[in-house]
Amino acid sequence: NNFGILDNLKANHSKLKTTRGYATRFIYKLTALFHSETTIQQFQKLQNFTFRNHDTTKQYISILEEEQLDIMFFTHQRPPYIAPLVYAAQKKHIKTAAFIFSWDNLASKGRMASNFNYYLVWSDLMKRDLLKFYKSIKENTIKVVGTPQFVPYVMDVYKMQASEFFKDFDLNPKLKTICFSCGDISTSKNDELYIEIIANAIDAGDIEPINFIVRTSPAEDPVRFKKLVEEYAFITWNFPKWKQVRPNHQEAWSQRIPSVDDVKQLRALLEYSDLNINMLSTMSLDFMMFDKPVINPVFGNEDNGLYNDQRFLNYEHIQHLVNSKASKVVKNETALIKAISQCLSGKVDFKNRKAFINQQVGIPLKETNKQLVNSLVSWL
C-alpha cells in the first residue's frame, strides 16, 4: 500500500524475451503470492545459498581472512553487487553496518541487498520508516547519525568566497542568481521544458534581469541539453566535475566520483544563488541547508501528454515535503513564473523550512561525522 514502492515495482517490470526477462517476470509472480517477512527471509537464505561456492565469494573470504576486520561498513545498502560480500562477512563472523543512502531509498526503492547487523539512518523519521518496511530489524540495532552527504557544507576547506564564485561562473555580481538543478533522464524527463520556459521568460522580460545557472545531473552525460546550450547563450551551464571510474560496471551511475573542485562549486551555488528550481530532487534539501527558497515544478500528469512527474507527489518522502510547505510546488507555466518573481522579491514565506530540515536530517551537520564514527565504534 505504498505508492512509491508500487510505482518503482511497475517501472522495473520486464517485457524482454531473454533469460533475465523471463526470470524477472517469474519472480514478480512468485512474490505477488509470497511476500511476508518470514518468506522474504527464506528468499534471503536462498540468495545466500547461491553465493556459497562461487569464486567471487571465495575471493572475498580470502581477503577477509587476511584483513581480520571487526566490522564492515557499507556506505550504501542497496546495490545488489554488495550481497556476496555481506554473505562472506557473515560466514567469517564479521559484523556489518549499513548506511541508508538517501532520503528516498526506503519509501520508493527496492529492498536492501542483504541483512546487516546494524543500521545508520538520517533521522528519527527514517528510523521509523526502516522499522516499518523491515519487520525483522530490531530498534536497538539502529543509530540516528544525520547524513555525511551535506557535511562539506560546514567545512571551511570547501568554501568559496562570493567574489570567486561570480568570477568562476562568469556572472554579474549585481544581479540575483537562479540555479536550476536537473535530475537524470529516468525521472526528470521534463527538465528541458522547465529550463526553456524560464529562459523564454527571461528573454521576454517576464522575469527580472537575472543570472541563470543550470547544473546538470552528475549521474548522466548532459548531451540531452545540447540544443538548449546552443539556443540560449545567456544560460550558464554547470556540468558536474565527476569522474567515471568504472564505466563498464553493472551499475555505472554508482561509479561516478565527485572532484574536490566540484564540491566547492556546488557549495558556492547553494550559498550564493538566490533561488533554486528542481523537480522534487534531493537538491531541495541542499539549498534549504543554506536557507534558500526552492520551487518544484511538476507539469506532467496522466492526461496532458507530458511525462507524468506529478505522480511523484504521491511518494511518501515527497508528501512530507509537500505537507511541510517548505518549498513551492507549481503545476503549470503561469504558476512557475509567478513563483519565481515572488521568491526573488521575498514575498513567499518558507517559515517551515527549518522544521522540515530537522525532520529529514536529525543531527546537526557539524556533529554528523562524530556521531557516525562513535556509532561504529560502539558496535565493535
Cβ within 8 Å of residue 308, ≥6 positions away: 300, 301, 302
Summarize pLDDT for 216-260 with one digit per residue, the tens.
999 888 899 999 999 999 999 999 998 888 888 877 777 888 999
| pLDDT exceeds 80 at position 36 | yes
Summarize pLDDT for 77-130 with one digit per residue, the tens.
988 889 999 999 999 999 999 999 888 888 888 889 999 999 999 999 999 999
C-alpha pair distances (Å), 189 with each of 3, 14, 303: 20, 21, 16
Cβ within 8 Å of residue 28, ≥6 positions away: 9, 13
Supply the DSSP symbol for 224: G
52-147+368-378 and 152-360 share one fold: yes
Mean pLDDT of 191-204: 98
Summarize pLDDT for 362-375 with one digit per residue, the tens.
999 999 999 999 99
Rounded Cα gap, residues 334 and 313, in angstroms: 20
| Sheet of 71-74, strand order | 71-74, 95-99, 118-121, 142-144
Which CATH number fits the domain 52-147+368-378, given the four candidates 3.40.1450.10, 3.20.20.70, 3.40.50.2000, 3.30.465.10? 3.40.50.2000
pLDDT of residue 109: 83
Host H or E run for residue 143: strand 142-144
Please state the CATH superfamily assignment of the domain spanning residues 152-360 in this structure. Glycogen Phosphorylase B; (3.40.50.2000)
The residues spanned by each domain of the chain are 52-147+368-378, 152-360
pLDDT of residue 29: 94
pTM, two decimals, is: 0.93
Higher pLDDT among residues 247 and 144, named by residue: 144
Rounded Cα gap, residues 90 and 94, in angstroms: 6
Rounded Cα gap, residues 179 and 177, in angstroms: 7
The proportion of the chain whose per-residue pLDDT surpasses 70, expressed as a percent, equals 100
- Average pLDDT, whole number, for the chain? 94
pLDDT of residue 366: 96
Q: CB of 123 within 8 A of CB of 361?
A: yes
